Amino acid sequence: MTDFPGRIFYNGEAFPLAEIPLLPLDEFLQAVIDATDFGWRISSLFGDKSNSGTALYCVLSYKIDGMMGIIRSTAKDTFPSITALVPQAHLFEREIAEQWGVAPEGHPWFKPLRFHRALKPGAEAWGRSQQTEILPGVIDFYQVTGEEIHEVAVGPVHAGIIEPGHFRFQCHGEHVYHLEISLGYQHRGVEAALVGGPHSKTLYQMETVAGDTTVGHTQAYSMIIEALSGCRPPAKGEVIRGIALELERLANHTGDLGAIAGDIGYLPTSSFCGRIRGDFLNMTALLCGSRFGRGLIRPGGTGFDLGLPQMDDLRGRLAAARKDLTSAVDLLWSTQSVMARLEGTGAVSLEDSNRLGLVGPAARACGATRDVRQDHPFGIFRMSQIPTVSSQSGDVFARTLLRWLEAERSLEFVEEQLSQLPGGSCRHEVGPLAGEQVAVAMTEGWRGEICHVAITDQSGRFARYKIVDPSFHNWPGLAMAMRDQQISDFPLCNKSFNLSYCGFDL
Amino acid sequence: MTDLLIHLVLIICMPPLMLGIIGKTKAAFAGRVGAPYLQPYFDLFKLLRKGSVFSSTTTWIFRAGPIITLAATITAALLIPLGNHPSPISFAGDMILFAYLFGLARFFTMAAALDTGSSFEGMGAAREATFSCLVEPTLFFALIVLCRISGSLSLSTMLTHSLVNIWFSAGASLVLLVAGLFIILLAENCRIPFDDPNTHLELTMIHEVMVLDHSGPAFGYILYGAAMKLFILGAFFIHIALPFKTGDHLLDWGIFIISMVALAITIGIVESIMARLRLVRIPQLLVAASILTAFSMLLILR
């Protein structure tokens, strides 16, 4: 699509704010509809304060030639909803309404998302009074009525040790007609806290946007800072970052494989994977002293260098973990009762996945070949590529298999990188940030596409910092996977998606 | 007299050990050390020392549930012969009482679950009611087969009747019977592949979800009652599957205890190498168990 009316750029680029064409509202929305029809996807759609109402920005990405585009517009009090035409805009529109009080007119599912006051003082899209407290989970849930229909409410306090979220099922016996997910219990106000930054705390806030995706989010943040300051991290820093990102993926995929096995009561894989996940976390600790990669990724490179003895140690541990993981996971495929449980449970079609804009393993399990490392390469992935894998059936089995296939590719990648680690320093100094610029960075965290967008003011401070965690795209996928399923399969489906609550709630 | 004493001691003390052995076996398969064999006892003592919390929406049924369930299970324990020894209480037709004592226990567990008004517990009760309907025919087919073999209506005679010869003369029938009984042994005691006693995922459980609201001593009674049920049905199963009798009193007790330990290890192995069934598949397996025992009956009646 060559007639995209916005500023075209590539992943990790910064450019002056003025270069983004300011479209009239209807042209802006039409451009989003046209682009998504053409196969672009919405990576980020967000609002910002503006002198004349609320500014709307839309970052779109196109996998074929790695292009990304951004457009903007201004809305007064309302804007026409495009969710009915472009379902992937669903949560973004609700988010804009909640943050800026601009209601999407005709939105089919217009409810608060995270249950907080608008970022713009006094703005309110639902007409709630400023005095009453806003409590999470207080909405009119969708209801199915009829004989023998019953409603099951789960959470926000769960039986297991997981994050809080509320799930409302409309059931007929064991059969689920509809699942509505209501989150927001973990809302911390991350985006509001980032405005005026970078502060001394900003990097630590980035590390905990989603605690299990520390590397993914800090990588995206570092790319933003580097783009805005014109710094290029040294090759060695890029390689260590790539290794850290893949180790994070390995640890989490291994943990998920074990958790899926645990959910179906299959003990051996569950126990072994729990232990091997720890081995991968310890490898990250070998790089930087933190099992979750805190302090490793820093703007301009990495906070820790990788020495020869560490590399040998890492290689040995990788080989051992690969052997253990292979045998633990092979047990899954060779056990009939496990396969019977996984196959056909919670299937999402490729068409639904594309319409909802799913990302990461959840999308690739449906047959999509969407992967930021391949489509919009960043860092070391511009030099060495990881083949994108996908499985076809879109069910729990596909999501399980996909995790294993990705883990294999990641193991190969880390081993390859360790054998050709460049010399030199691992970090360059970062200069001051350029003012009135926009920077967009996308990375492929283990859950999928992470998109950070920063807009700076005249003095180079963040006027707006928008984070889209992959869970934001994928929660509707879980609700879709539960349609016409057994309610007893929900924990398994949930585990196979394993989405972040705090990454969504921000 | 000694036999009676040993019977009572075993019935009271051994059931939690079965759970300990199952736990150890599973841990061994998972490459872990596992909790001590006596852990279930520690858990019970811990629960008995705790206080209870009762929801304000519950009535006396909720409080009576665990006690009636445990009482019914203990009564059933007095009807079942262990090893080569007749049970403390036996009379013609006690097998019907035996079967329906568990029915009574189940009724009160389900009633207590429904009493809470929780949607999870209602779901659990619905599942339990459905599956127990499918288990009952299997149990009665099995009892009919045993009646026919022993010519008696009392559990003591039925089960201590020398089955070794029957294994030679009507082995096919007994193989089917043992297969069917093993399936309902696992199903009735909420073991994998039917239910996973270790997950605490409210949406998938059957038995565990019905007792979510119980706490403290009442929950202890429930766990103890469940362990005892496993022990009783296990003893029933062992009588048919491993009918070795020597005639020597103490030796027979020894054989019985070893057989029970072996059964616990077998259950542990099954739980380690299998995943749970999808909930919709459970009735199919239970119907299969009924069919197995029905054929067993046909072969005996032939």
Q: Which residues of chain A are within 8 Å of residue B279 when distances are taken between CB atoms?
A: 174, 486, 488-489
Chain B closest-CA separation from residue A337 CA (Å): 5
Residues of B with Cβ-Cβ distance to A154 under 8 angstroms: 202-203
A265 touches chain B (CB under 8 A): yes
Q: Nearest CA to CA, how far is A62 from chain B (Å)?
A: 40
Using a CB–CB cutoff of 8 Å, tell me whether A64 touches chain B.
Answer: no
Query: CA of A218: how far to CAs of A209, A215, A449, B42, in Å?
Result: 9, 5, 13, 46
- Alpha carbon distance B118, B126 (integer Å): 12
Answer whether A144 touches B (CB < 8 Å).
Answer: no
Q: Considering only CA atoms, which of A336, A337, A333, A400 is closest in space to residue A364?
A: A400
B281 CB neighbours in chain A (<8 A) are 340
Cα separation, B233 vs B224, in Å, equals 14
Q: Which residue has tokens 């449980």?
A: A341
Among B123, B201, B276, beta carbon nearest to A160 = B201
- pLDDT value at position B35? 92
DSSP state of A334: H
d(CA A370, CA A43): 12
**Minimal C-alpha gap between A341 and chain B (Å):** 6
Give CA–CA dist A287/A376, Å, rounded.
Answer: 26
ipTM score here? 0.85
3-state secondary structure chain B: CHHHHHHHHHHHHCHHHHHHHHHHHHHHHCCCCCCCCCHHHHHHHHHHHCCCCCCCCCCHHHHHHHHHHHHHHHHHHHHCCECCECCCCCCCCHHHHHHHHHHHHHHHHHHHHHHCCCHHHHHHHHHHHHHHHHHHHHHHHHHHHHHHHHCCCCHHHHHHCCCHHHHHHCHHHHHHHHHHHHHHHHHHCCCCCCCCCCCCCCCCCCHHHHCCCCCHHHHHHHHHHHHHHHHHHHHHHHHHHCCCCCCCHHHHHHHHHHHHHHHHHHHHHHHHHCCCCCHHHHHHHHHHHHHHHHHHHHHHHC
- For strands A67-75 and A437-445, give the pairing: unpaired
Q: Exposure pattern of A242-254 as b/e (b: 16+ CB <10 Å)?
A: bbbbbbbbbbbbb
A397 in contact with B, Cβ within 8 Å: no
Q: Which residues contact B106 (CB under 8 A, 6 or more apart)?
A: B128, B132
Q: How many CB atoms lie within 10 A of CB A266?
A: 27
Cβ distance of B30 and A340 shorter than 8 Å: no
Closest chain A C-alpha to B201 CA, distance in angstroms = 6
Tens of pLDDT along chain A (506 residues) come to 557 888 889 998 999 999 999 999 999 999 999 999 988 999 999 999 888 889 999 999 998 888 999 999 998 888 999 999 999 999 999 999 999 989 999 999 899 989 988 888 888 888 888 888 888 888 888 889 888 888 888 878 887 778 899 999 999 988 999 999 999 999 999 999 999 878 889 999 999 999 899 999 999 999 999 999 988 899 999 999 999 999 999 999 999 999 999 888 888 898 899 999 999 999 999 988 899 999 999 998 898 888 888 888 999 999 999 999 999 999 999 988 899 889 989 899 999 999 999 999 999 999 998 899 999 999 899 888 888 888 889 999 999 999 999 999 999 999 999 888 888 888 888 888 888 899 999 999 999 999 999 999 999 899 999 999 999 999 999 999 999 998 888 989 999 999 999 999 98
Q: Out of A160, A267, A335, whose CB is closest to B26?
A: A267
Determine the pLDDT at residue A2.
Answer: 57
Q: Which of A370, A471, A368, A410 is nearest to A66 (CA)?
A: A370
Among B192, B279, B280, beta carbon nearest to A265: B192
DSSP A339-394: HHHHTTSS---HHHHHHHT--HHHHHTTT----HHHHS--GGGGTSPPPP---SS-
Partner-chain residue, chosen from B29, B119, B196, that has the shortest CB–CB distance to A265: B196
Q: Nearest CA to B190 among B155, B221, B222, B142?
A: B222
Rg of chain A on CA atoms, in Å: 22
Q: Give A216-268 as a DSSP string.
A: HHHHHHHHHHHHHHT----HHHHHHHHHHHHHHHHHHHHHHHHHHHHHTT-HH
- pLDDT tens for each residue of chain B, 302 residues long: 788 899 999 999 999 999 999 999 999 988 889 899 999 999 999 999 999 999 888 999 999 999 999 999 999 999 999 888 889 999 998 999 999 999 999 999 999 999 998 888 888 899 889 999 999 999 999 999 989 888 889 988 888 877 788 888 888 888 999 999 999 999 988 888 888 877 767 788 888 888 888 999 999 999 999 999 999 999 999 988 888 888 788 888 999 999 999 999 999 999 888 888 888 889 999 999 999 999 999 998 87
A151/chain B closest Cα distance in angstroms:
8
Q: Which of residues 309-338 of A touch B (CB under 8 A)?
A: 335, 337-338
Q: Residue B199: which of A173, A263, A272 has the nearest Cβ?
A: A263
Asked whether the beta carbons of A33 and A82 are under 8 A apart, the reply is yes
Residue whose C-alpha is closest to residue B10's, from B256, B194, B267: B256
Searching chain B, which residue's CA lies closest to the CA of residue A174?
B123
Distance CA A399, CA A474 (A): 13
The predicted structure's pLDDT at residue A257: 94
What is residue A166's three-state secondary structure? strand
Check A153 against B196: CB less than 8 A apart: no
CA distance A170 to chain B (A): 12
CB contact under 8 A, B275 and A262: no
- Whether A279 and chain B come into contact, CB under 8 Å, resolves to no
Q: Which residues of B touch A488 (CB under 8 A)?
A: 203-204, 278-279
Considering all CA atoms of chain B, what is the largest pairwise distance in Å, rounded to the nearest integer? Answer: 60
Minimum-distance CB partner of A341 among B31, B126, B276: B276
Token pair listed for B83: 């090893």
pTM of the model: 0.90
Domain that holds residue B91: 2-51+58-301
Contact B272 A264 (CB under 8 A): no
Give the count of domains, chain B.
Answer: 1
Please tell me the distance in Å from A181's CA to the nearest CA on chain B: 16
Residues of B contacting chain A (CB within 8 angstroms):
26, 29-32, 119-120, 122-123, 126, 192-193, 196, 198-204, 271-281
Note whether A174 contacts B31, CB cutoff 8 Å.
Answer: no
**How close does chain A come to B215, measured CA to CA in Å?**
15
Number of CB atoms found within 10 A of residue A435's CB: 15
pLDDT at residue B70, rounded to an integer: 95
Q: How far is the alpha carbon of B113 from chain A, nearest alpha carbon, in Å? A: 15
Q: Determine, for residues A337 and B193 on separate chains, whether the beta-carbon distance falls below 8 Å.
A: yes
pLDDT of residue B193: 86
Predicted local distance difference test score (pLDDT) of residue A1: 55
How far is A82 from A62, CA to CA, in rounded Å? 19
Question: Which residue in this structure is represented by tokens 């929305």?
Answer: A29
The tokens describing A100, both together, are 């800026």
The Cα A147–Cα A166 span in angstroms is 25
List the structure tokens of A428.
Answer: 């360059």
Those residues whose C-beta lies under 8 Å from the C-beta of residue A321, and which sit 6 or more positions away, are: A250, A276, A279, A280, A283, A411
d(CA A250, CA A258): 12
Distance separating alpha carbons of residues B218 and B214, to the nearest angstrom: 6
- In chain A, residues with a C-beta closer than 8 Å to the C-beta of B200 are 159-160
**pLDDT the model gives residue B64:** 93
Please report residues of A whose CB lies closer than 8 A to that of B202: 154, 159
pLDDT value of residue B167:
84
| Closest-approach residue (CA) in chain A for B33 | A271
Query: A151 and B119 in contact by Cβ < 8 A?
Result: yes
Question: Nearest Cα to A230, choosing from A502, A386, A428?
Answer: A428
β-pairing verdict for A448-456 and A462-468: antiparallel
Taking contacts as CB-CB distances below 8 angstroms, the residues of chain B near A486 are: 278-280
pLDDT of residue B243: 86
Q: Would you call A272 and B31 a contact, using CB atoms and an 8 Å cutoff?
A: yes
Which residue of B lies nearest to A274 if distances are taken between CA atoms? B30
Residue A281: the pLDDT is 94
User: Chain A window 218-237: which residues touch B at a Cβ cutoff of 8 Å?
Assistant: none
Q: Looking at chain B, which residue has its C-alpha nearest residue A273?
A: B30
Cβ distance A292 to A281 under 8 Å? Answer: yes
> Residue A131 burial by CB count (10 A; 0-12/13-18/19+): exposed, middle or buried?
exposed
% helix / strand / coil in chain A, to the nearest 5?
A: 45, 20, 40
